[in-house]
A and B are shown apart, each in its own frame.
Chain A
Amino acid sequence: MASMQAVHNANPLIQIEDLCKSYNLQGANGETITNQVLFSINLTINPGEFVAIMGHSGSGKSTLMNILGCLDTPTSGSYWLAGKNVAAMSGDELAHIRNQSIGFVFQGFNLLKRMTALDNVATPLLYAGIGRSQSRKRALELLRRTGLESFAMHQPNQLSGGQQQRVAISRALINEPPLILADEPTGNLDTQTSREIMLLFEQLNRDQGITIVLVTHEDDIATYAKRLIRLKDGHIIVDKRNEASETALNQAADGNSLITQ
């Protein structure tokens, strides 16, 4: 961990300090029960990283991801995204960040129903203020590059899980965000499809330098990442370079290892 920060200390994309998250629940007798989910998280992620977050179910992975994705707010602590304090942002600014800077990929795909793949991919552009026809043109272009052109006019329920997730990834990419957050993107997919999706992420990270933070509880999915963070009961217990990373190994072989850089 120390060595990584030594390498990328310039301008972190994500910087989290002392971040806590707790939920207030109503107890059986009407009393308020505070359930703390994240404990004093400190985390720095630099541009271009490919991070896997692992941990048991209920360890707080999704909670952390939602905060990173500006979908949720922390109870305390600070979150700096590309040097900007997220806590100080207005609702409109957060919407703008979600639109422009973050592509979120969900386990359940979360495509808009009864809407074609093309329109699903085009919608973030509409929210960016781009006209419908221009948005569709760009969405089609992207679908062509991701090999989904022939499914452009299909609605989500006419697509396989893998195809839906690739549409969802296209949607996350349409505004060319510097950061992709994926919460168990392969959780609903079979092994072969999972592998294809992971190769897509890997390629995006390698070829376009997109920072990827990915949650998984499967070890073989985590192997695609270059850095591995392990959460346990709301604490970060491991944060290390991913020894098992095929990429890291390949790059090491090429003399391009992160550490030797």
Chain B
Amino acid sequence: MNLFTIIGEALRALRQNRLRTGLTMLGMIIGVAAVVLMLSIGQGARTKINETIAAMGSNLFLVVPGATSSGGFSFGSGSVRTLTINDAYAVAELPSISATAPVTTGTVQLNYAAKNWSTIITGTTPNYFSVGNWKIESGAIFTESDLRSAARVVVLGSVTAKNLFGDEDPVGKTIRITNRPFLVVGVLMAKGQSLTGRDQDDNVLIPITTSERQITGNQFPGSIRYMMVQGKSAGDMDIAEIEITQLLRQRHRIAKGKENDFTVRNLTAIADVATDAAKVMSIVLGAIASVSLLVGGIGIMNIMLVSVTERTREIGIRMAIGANQRAILTQFLLEAMMICIMGGVIGLVVGIGGAWVVSRVADMLIVITIGMVGLAFLFSSAVGIFFGFYPAKKAASLKPVDALRYE
């Protein structure tokens, strides 16, 4: 019997038992759909985190004033004012550091025409944009000369721009920040949420000099809220951290054995933790889904065994009229595989549909890759072969007379 005919026989047997075929397939459908859904959710989360990290900028340190609190990561607590703009300039000169950006922050009221909007103001240097991997949507960033002259220029975050200007182009317009007129020179591209879930696009940025003298004021002149530091290479982050620490201790005249009055945070390391967490999450999701696929597979084996037992007589008759072991084995194996592959394909469609619904309802990023589709397909045929083989083998190795005598 050629393969083509055997496929026909297997299909016929499946059609003859629609209910049983359907129920077995259901196990497979649920399994594969779960795998696809879980993998796509996991992959979506990873992609999202990777995008956020890429947007954050590379080789980053955050240096905040104050000693390292026990396990606490509180940047800009505001209580300590030990870091200065000059500290930031000095750190920038270190051999392992490519750039730094000192930052002061505050909350301000913005006005444009009849609209007003309250947001966070960041006073910083032009380096901030390259260090933080900010891209310009329109206009330009403020310049070194703006910094020197403490010019009243402002760069808007995309959300702030939208709220004040709607569809109007803000560049070249004048807004009022705490009632002082500022010229809008640029609008930033949106970044979305940070790793901690903060909206990074609702902000305005002005030269740190302007901020200090005209907006936030400063009871400790030259002090900053924190500084962003960019290392030259990913491989030298440890050295860079030591250099920063040594330099700041020296500048702050901290005696040997005394605690630092600042804290250096390696943001890349934090990002790695987040990446790992996302990876673990997607693995766990995949594992959970695999269990349901396994259960589906066991269901198939169960049904196949029942089917073989139920059809023992049929097997005997087929043997009596000339079926050899291979023909019986192939027929039963193909039946199991067809259930699995058909179930796999339907499960794939259901899974992709489910992922689409989840992405709509939960507003989550869902990523479906060819690899996932291939995996689901491969896995379902493997389940079919694996769980179909035992019952098929059992059927094929029966002695004709025993199969025929079976009641």
Which residues 277-326 of B sit at the A interface, judged by CB distance below 8 A? Answer: 313-314, 316-326
Query: Given A98-B322, A123-B318, does the pair A114, B401 have CB atoms closer than 8 Å?
Result: no
Contact B401 A99 (CB under 8 A): no
Q: Is A171 an interface residue (CB 8 A)?
A: yes
Instruction: Write out the residue numbers on chain A whose beta carbons fall within 8 Å of the beta carbon of B22.
Output: none
Among B1, B314, B325: residue with most chain A CB under 10 A: B1
Which residues 370-407 of B sit at the A interface, judged by CB distance below 8 A? Answer: 399-401, 404
Contact B313 A110 (CB under 8 A): yes
Q: Is B8 an interface residue (CB 8 A)?
A: yes
Interface size class of B (residues with CB under 8 A): 20 to 34
Docked CA distance A198–B317 (Å): 23
Instruction: Write out the residue numbers on chain A whose beta carbons fall within 8 Å of the beta carbon of B316.
Output: 110
Docked CA distance A236–B300 (Å): 50
Stretch at the interface among A50-58, A65-73, A79-87, A200-208: A65-73
Contact B314 A112 (CB under 8 A): yes
Q: Is B346 an interface residue (CB 8 A)?
A: no
Q: Is A129 an interface residue (CB 8 A)?
A: yes
Produce 1/0 per residue, A169-183, CB < 8 A to B.
001000100000000
Docked CA distance A99–B1 (Å): 11
Instruction: Write out the residue numbers on chain B whose beta carbons fall within 8 Å of the beta carbon of A115.
Output: 12
Docked CA distance A69–B316 (Å): 13
Contact B404 A110 (CB under 8 A): yes
Docked CA distance A173–B291 (Å): 51
Instruction: Write out the residue numbers on chain A whose beta carbons fall within 8 Å of the beta carbon of B314.
Output: 112-113
Which residues 1-44 of B sit at the A interface, judged by CB distance below 8 A? Answer: 1-2, 4-5, 8-9, 12, 16
Q: Is B327 an interface residue (CB 8 A)?
A: yes
In chain A, what residue has the closest Cβ to B17? A114
Contact B324 A72 (CB under 8 A): no
Q: Is A91 an interface residue (CB 8 A)?
A: yes
Produce 1/0 per residue, A116-134, CB < 8 A to B.
0000000110111101100
- Of B2, B320, B404, the residue contacting A129 (CB under 8 A) is B2
Contact B2 A114 (CB under 8 A): no
Q: Is A92 an interface residue (CB 8 A)?
A: yes
Instruction: Write out the residue numbers on chain A whose beta carbons fall within 8 Å of the beta carbon of B318.
Output: 112, 123, 127
- Of A73, A110, A126, the residue contacting B320 (CB under 8 A) is A110
* A219 nearest CB across to chain B (Å): 27
- Of B16, B324, B399, the residue contacting A114 (CB under 8 A) is B16
Q: Is A78 an interface residue (CB 8 A)?
A: no
In chain B, what residue has the closest Cβ to A115? B12
Among A73, A91, A131: residue with most chain B CB under 10 A: A91
Instruction: Write out the residue numbers on chain A whose beta carbons fall within 8 Å of the beta carbon of B12.
Output: 115
* B5 nearest CB across to chain A (Å): 5
Query: Given A71-B401, A112-B314, A132-B8, does the pair A127, B320 have CB atoms closer than 8 Å?
Result: no
Query: Given A72-B399, A112-B314, A113-B314, does the pair A99, B404 have CB atoms closer than 8 Å?
Result: no
- Of B1, B2, B319, the residue contacting A98 (CB under 8 A) is B319
In chain B, what residue has the closest Cβ to A171? B321
Query: Given A126-B1, A126-B9, does the pair A66, B321 have CB atoms closer than 8 Å?
Result: no
Contact A127 B404 (CB under 8 A): no
Instruction: Write out the residue numbers on chain B whose beta carbons fall within 8 Å of the beta carbon of A98.
Output: 319-322, 400
Contact B319 A95 (CB under 8 A): yes
Q: Is A46 an interface residue (CB 8 A)?
A: no
Contact A72 B401 (CB under 8 A): yes
Docked CA distance A48–B366 (Å): 75
- Of A72, A92, A127, A129, the residue contacting B321 (CB under 8 A) is A127
* B387 nearest CB across to chain A (Å): 24
Contact B5 A126 (CB under 8 A): yes
Query: Given A72-B399, A104-B320, A113-B314, does the pair A92, B325 have CB atoms closer than 8 Å?
Result: yes
Contact B322 A95 (CB under 8 A): yes
Instruction: Write out the residue numbers on chain A whose beta carbons fall within 8 Å of the beta carbon of B5.
Output: 126, 131-132
Q: Is A154 an interface residue (CB 8 A)?
A: no
Pull 11 A–B residue pairs with CB atoms less than 8 Å apart, ordered by A. A66-B401, A71-B319, A72-B399, A92-B326, A96-B322, A98-B319, A115-B12, A126-B1, A126-B5, A127-B324, A132-B5
Q: B residues engaging A (CB < 8 A)? A: 1-2, 4-5, 8-9, 12, 16, 313-314, 316-327, 399-401, 404
Q: A residues engaging B (CB < 8 A)? A: 66, 69-73, 91-92, 95-96, 98-100, 104, 106, 110-115, 123-124, 126-129, 131-132, 171, 175
